[in-house]
């Protein structure tokens, strides 16, 4: 208690130090929360793409049409247990360019995965698509459902046509959230209108797909199966779960490195400013330390007093930084939720780390000035003005 | 047995690589328990340095002939910082010219701090601090911080701090130097009164002849050496105490001397 009173009696210096730490910890909390969210997204994505081989046309980054017969050919490749031919197109015919993950429509044959899909989608409302479904029906991913404020039974407009929402999904933090699932035939009709007229003329809608998901047999070597598929189907490109992880993992690594770098810089700057303030504060109190030493305060006791004080300053800064960071995270997430971009995830581990770190940082920053102060000769310290 | 005994005390301060100051050039001194002694001399005569050595704030230089410092019979020439701090905390009280109170602490906290350094836990330290402040007539100022007190009051707080651990000696460096004559008399009266009532030795460094006159003995210094050491005629009649003082048994050396 005496310590807190002493701190409040040195208002300006204490306040400035605490503000410095608060800003550092604030940055740490916000950046770590961002890193948490990105890692969670990548984690879910990795899970989503695991155990499957995505086959697309190799010529134009997967946007060119393939045929249903290609799916049959893939099904014939050794090691392939099931194939799920799909049409994946943009939600809008002319999508706006943006940073966020684009909304998509995805048509497939319900049950084509034959139970090999390990990533389970869970319903929030309504039901999933069945093979009997046809025409203008859709199951909405969680972000789309929130965006359109739709639940099962509602009607929404997609590309100028009215679709009946038969179900909505729980959040997955990855692709399905921004996907509307529709019957394959419906997707094929929409897809052909997207294609340039010259290309479309030579195609038949109900033979079209642009993506085939191949599920390898359990014992099969995913990479070997992928090469076999590429050999069998001309102009095909495959992406395995491992390749997804590799590609996205590399990007995430860079991203994480940037975030950690920024957080580290803010912490180093914060830490140096704490050391500086503690050093100034000790210099300012040289005389006081001399008094304490003269009347019988031991070196250890003086160091303890100063280090505890620095630790308390760090703790207060940490709590404030965490509080402000928490507010930013909550506000930004609320604002982002409307647009479907949740950027931050403040985990209890991050919170505990922020507080512990700032306290320890404060104490460490206090050690050196405290040690040099306690080493002072009491008589010269007393003469110090 | 003398309370403080120093022989061959020397101290040289290095000011820079080329210049050094010989503050003490071989001093022998002995202070008895319960004595009130003034150390007088012009600036630079080494009187403060002598007090710092006797108060274990500095160690004497190791020179030939080798110095000796004994406190209550125990050798204190070469002690570690920790040991010197421990002895300072438990057996000595310090009073300084510029009061030297911790500015952020109240009067009571300042006094209690000394008690805590001597090993008291917080509660008893507070109680002892309040008693000590009452004995210097500042019971009603216990919650004030130094800047809210007058110079005379601050010096009385410092005296309370020096006395809170019932020391065997009080060392005062120009205790009246920053006070007007009325406050100086008051502070000196307190030091004298506690010396008589509690029996601790008092060592006052001063260049004020009036301060010296109130002491039992005057040691005069010049150029780092003692030039005279005189006992004054004991004053038959002292001024009666202004403030009620709680009765305490005299400390052990005082009993031994029958003070």
Q: A298 vs B86: CB contact, 8 Å cut-off?
A: yes
- Predicted pLDDT at A27: 85
User: Which tokens belong to A124?
Assistant: 């929030």
Q: B113 vs A295: CB contact, 8 Å cut-off?
A: yes
Q: Closest-CA residue in chain A for B122?
A: A2
The alpha-carbon gap from B235 to the nearest alpha carbon of chain A, in Å, equals: 31
Contact map slice: B 63-102 vs A, CB within 8 A? 81-82, 85-86, 88-90, 92, 94, 96, 100-102
Band (B125; pLDDT cuts 50, 70, 90)? very high
Q: A379 vs B57: CB contact, 8 Å cut-off?
A: yes
Q: Which residue has the higher pLDDT, B257 or B110?
A: B110
**Residue in B81, B94, B104 nearest the CB of A295:** B94
Burial A81-105 (b: 16+ CB within 10 A, else e): bbbbbbbbbebeeeeeeeeeeebbb
- Of B26, B35, B38, give the one whose Cα is nearest residue B2: B35
Taking the CA of residue A164 as centre, how many other CA atoms within 13 Å lie in the half-sphere pointing to its CB?
Answer: 12
Q: Is residue B103 less than 8 Å (CB to CB) from chain A?
A: yes
Is residue B238 scored above 70 in pLDDT?
Answer: no
pTM check: above 0.90: no
Pairwise CA distance, residues B107 & A225, whole Å: 84
Has the ipTM of the complex gone over 0.95?
Answer: no
Q: Is residue B192 less than 8 Å (CB to CB) from chain A?
A: no
Is residue B218 scored above 50 in pLDDT?
Answer: yes
Band (B240; pLDDT cuts 50, 70, 90)? very low
Q: B117 vs A297: CB contact, 8 Å cut-off?
A: yes
Mean pLDDT across the stretch B148-156?
Answer: 94
- Predicted pLDDT at B241: 44
Q: Is residue B234 less than 8 Å (CB to CB) from chain A?
A: no
Pairwise CA distance, residues A198 & B183, whole Å: 109
Q: A295 vs B105: CB contact, 8 Å cut-off?
A: no
Specify the range with the lowest mean pLDDT, choosing from A22-31, A269-278, B41-50, B56-65. Answer: A269-278
Name the average pLDDT for chain B: 87
Band (B165; pLDDT cuts 50, 70, 90)? very high
- Which residues from B are below 8 Å from A294, CB to CB? 57, 88, 94, 96, 100
Contact A57, A237 (CB under 8 A): yes
Q: Closest-CA residue in chain A for B110?
A: A292
Band (B155; pLDDT cuts 50, 70, 90)? very high
- Predicted pLDDT at A355: 92
- Predicted pLDDT at B254: 43
Question: What single string gives the DSSP state of each residue in A288-334?
Answer: HHHHHHHTT--HHHHHHHHHHHHHHHHHHHHHHHHHHHHHHHHHHHH
Pairwise CA distance, residues A231 & A235, whole Å: 9
Mutate to test the interface with B, among A4, A284, A295, A384 (most CBs of B within 10 A): A295
Cα three-residue angle B246-B248-B251, rounded to 5 degrees = 145
- Predicted pLDDT at A201: 79
- Of A188, A206, A210, A262, give the one whose Cα is nearest residue A85: A210
Mean pLDDT across the stretch A186-190?
Answer: 89
Q: Closest-CA residue in chain B for A6?
A: B104
A365: helix, strand or coil: helix
- Of A212, A195, A192, A193, give the one whose Cα is nearest residue A204: A192
Q: B82 vs A294: CB contact, 8 Å cut-off?
A: no
The alpha-carbon gap from A353 to the nearest alpha carbon of chain B, in Å, equals: 33
Band (A287; pLDDT cuts 50, 70, 90)? confident
Cα-based distances in Å from B198 to A210, A271, A292, B130, B243: 102, 52, 25, 18, 15
A336: how many CB neighbours lie within 10 A of its CB?
Answer: 14
Contact A106, A131 (CB under 8 A): no
A247-279 confidence digits (pLDDT tens): 777 777 887 788 778 777 877 777 777 777 778
**Residue in A5, A6, A291 nearest the CB of B100:** A291
Q: B89 vs A296: CB contact, 8 Å cut-off?
A: yes
**Residue in A291, A296, A379 nearest the CB of B88:** A296
Band (B164; pLDDT cuts 50, 70, 90)? very high
Q: A296 vs B105: CB contact, 8 Å cut-off?
A: no
- Predicted pLDDT at B118: 93
Q: B58 vs A379: CB contact, 8 Å cut-off?
A: yes
Band (B255; pLDDT cuts 50, 70, 90)? very low
- Which residues from B are below 8 Å from A378, CB to CB? 57
The alpha-carbon gap from A322 to the nearest alpha carbon of chain B, in Å, equals: 30
B46: helix, strand or coil: coil
- Predicted pLDDT at B259: 39
**Which residues on neighbouring strands pair with residue B31, listed in sequence order?**
B4
Mutate to test the interface with B, among A296, A303, A377, A383 (most CBs of B within 10 A): A296
The alpha-carbon gap from A275 to the nearest alpha carbon of chain B, in Å, equals: 22
- Give the number of beta-carbon pairs within 8 Å between A and B: 63
The alpha-carbon gap from B237 to the nearest alpha carbon of chain A, in Å, equals: 33
Q: Is residue B134 less than 8 Å (CB to CB) from chain A?
A: no
The alpha-carbon gap from B88 to the nearest alpha carbon of chain A, in Å, equals: 5
The alpha-carbon gap from B232 to the nearest alpha carbon of chain A, in Å, equals: 30
Q: Tokens 């002493």 label which residue?
A: A6
Q: A297 vs B89: CB contact, 8 Å cut-off?
A: yes
- Predicted pLDDT at A173: 74
**Which run of H or of E encompasses B12?**
strand B4-14
Band (A28; pLDDT cuts 50, 70, 90)? confident
A29-67 confidence digits (pLDDT tens): 888 888 888 888 778 777 777 788 888 887 655 567 888
Q: B118 vs A296: CB contact, 8 Å cut-off?
A: yes
- Which residues from B are below 8 Å from A382, CB to CB? 96, 100
- Predicted pLDDT at A38: 81
Mean pLDDT across the stretch A316-336?
Answer: 90
Q: Which residue has the higher pLDDT, A248 or B105?
A: B105
- Predicted pLDDT at B136: 93
User: Which tokens belong to B114?
Assistant: 């000394």
Highest mean pLDDT among A66-75, B128-137, B208-217: B128-137
Is residue B226 scored above 90 in pLDDT?
Answer: yes
Name the average pLDDT for chain A: 84
A348-369 confidence digits (pLDDT tens): 998 999 899 889 888 888 888 8
Q: B117 vs A301: CB contact, 8 Å cut-off?
A: yes
Q: Is residue B104 less than 8 Å (CB to CB) from chain A?
A: yes
- Predicted pLDDT at B55: 92
A195: helix, strand or coil: coil
Q: Which residue has the higher pLDDT, B130 or A243?
A: B130
A213: helix, strand or coil: strand
- Predicted pLDDT at B185: 92
User: Which tokens belong to A258?
Assistant: 């940037």
A65-102 confidence digits (pLDDT tens): 888 888 888 888 888 888 899 888 888 877 666 556 67
A204-252 confidence digits (pLDDT tens): 888 888 888 888 888 888 888 888 888 888 778 888 888 887 877 777 7
User: Which tokens belong to A15?
Assistant: 């306040």
Q: A296 vs B96: CB contact, 8 Å cut-off?
A: no
């Amino acid at each position: 208690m005496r310590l807190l009173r002493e701190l409040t009696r040195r208002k300006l210096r204490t306040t400035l130090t605490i503000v410095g730490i608060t800003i550092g910890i604030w940055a740490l909390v916000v950046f770590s929360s961002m890193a948490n969210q990105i890692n969670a997204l990548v984690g879910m994505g990795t899970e989503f793409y695991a155990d499957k081989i995505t086959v697309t046309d190799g010529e134009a980054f997967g946007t060119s049409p393939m045929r249903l017969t290609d799916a049959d050919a893939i099904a014939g490749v050794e090691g392939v247990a099931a194939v799920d031919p799909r049409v994946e197109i943009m939600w809008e015919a002319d999508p706006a360019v943006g940073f966020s993950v684009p909304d998509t429509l995805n048509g497939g044959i319900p049950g084509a995965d034959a139970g090999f899909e390990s990533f389970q989608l869970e319903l929030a409302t309504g039901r999933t698509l069945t093979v009997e479904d046809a025409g203008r029906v859709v199951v909405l991913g969680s972000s789309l459902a929130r965006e359109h404020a739709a639940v099962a039974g509602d009607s929404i407009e997609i590309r100028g046509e009215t679709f009946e929402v038969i179900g909505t999904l729980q959040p997955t933090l990855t692709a399905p959230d921004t996907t509307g699932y529709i019957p394959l035939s419906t997707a094929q009709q929409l897809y052909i209108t997207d294609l340039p007229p010259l290309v479309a003329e030579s195609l038949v809608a109900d033979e079209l797909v642009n993506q085939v998901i191949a599920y390898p047999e359990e014992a099969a070597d995913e990479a070997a199966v992928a090469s076999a598929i590429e050999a069998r189907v001309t102009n095909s490109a495959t992406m395995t779960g491992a390749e997804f992880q590799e590609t996205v993992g590399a990007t995430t690594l860079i991203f994480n490195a940037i975030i950690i770098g920024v957080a580290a810089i803010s912490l180093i700057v914060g830490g140096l400013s704490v050391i500086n303030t503690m050093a100034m504060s000790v210099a300012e109190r040289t005389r006081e330390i001399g008094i304490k030493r003269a009347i019988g305060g031991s070196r250890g006791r003086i160091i303890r007093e100063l280090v505890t004080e620095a630790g308390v300053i760090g703790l207060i800064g940490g709590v404030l930084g965490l509080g402000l960071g928490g507010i930013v995270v909550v506000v930004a997430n609320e604002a982002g939720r409307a647009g479907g971009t949740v950027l931050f995830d403040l985990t209890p581990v991050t919170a505990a780390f922020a507080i512990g770190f700032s306290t320890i940082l404060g104490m460490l920053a206090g050690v050196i000035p405290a040690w040099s102060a306690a080493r002072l000769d009491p008589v010269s310290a007393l003469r110090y003005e | 047995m003398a309370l403080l005994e120093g022989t061959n005390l020397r101290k040289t301060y290095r000011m820079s690589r080329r210049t050094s100051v010989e503050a003490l050039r071989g001093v022998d001194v002995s202070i008895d328990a319960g004595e009130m002694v003034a150390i007088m001399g012009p600036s630079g005569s080494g009187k403060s340095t002598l007090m710092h050595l006797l108060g274990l704030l500095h160690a004497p230089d190791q020179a030939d002939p080798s110095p000796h410092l004994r406190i209550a019979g125990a050798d204190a020439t070469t002690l570690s910082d920790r040991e010197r701090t421990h002895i300072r905390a438990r057996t000595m009280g310090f009073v300084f010219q510029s009061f030297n109170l911790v500015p952020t602490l109240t009067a009571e906290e300042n006094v209690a701090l000394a008690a805590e350094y001597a090993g008291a836990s917080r509660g008893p330290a507070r109680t002892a601090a309040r008693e000590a402040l009452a004995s210097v007539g500042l019971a009603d100022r216990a919650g004030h911080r130094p800047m809210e007190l007058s110079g005379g009051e601050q010096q009385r707080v410092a005296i309370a701090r020096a006395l809170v651990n019932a020391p065997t000696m009080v060392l005062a460096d120009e205790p009246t130097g920053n006070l007007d004559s009325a406050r100086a008399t008051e502070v000196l009266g307190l030091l004298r009164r506690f010396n008589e009532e509690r029996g601790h030795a008092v060592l006052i460094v001063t260049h004020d002849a009036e301060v010296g006159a109130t002491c039992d003995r005057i040691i005069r210094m010049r150029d780092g050496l003692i030039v005279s050491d005189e006992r004054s005629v004991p004053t038959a009649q002292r001024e009666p105490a202004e403030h009620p003082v709680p009765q305490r048994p005299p400390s052990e050396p005082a009993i031994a001397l029958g003070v």
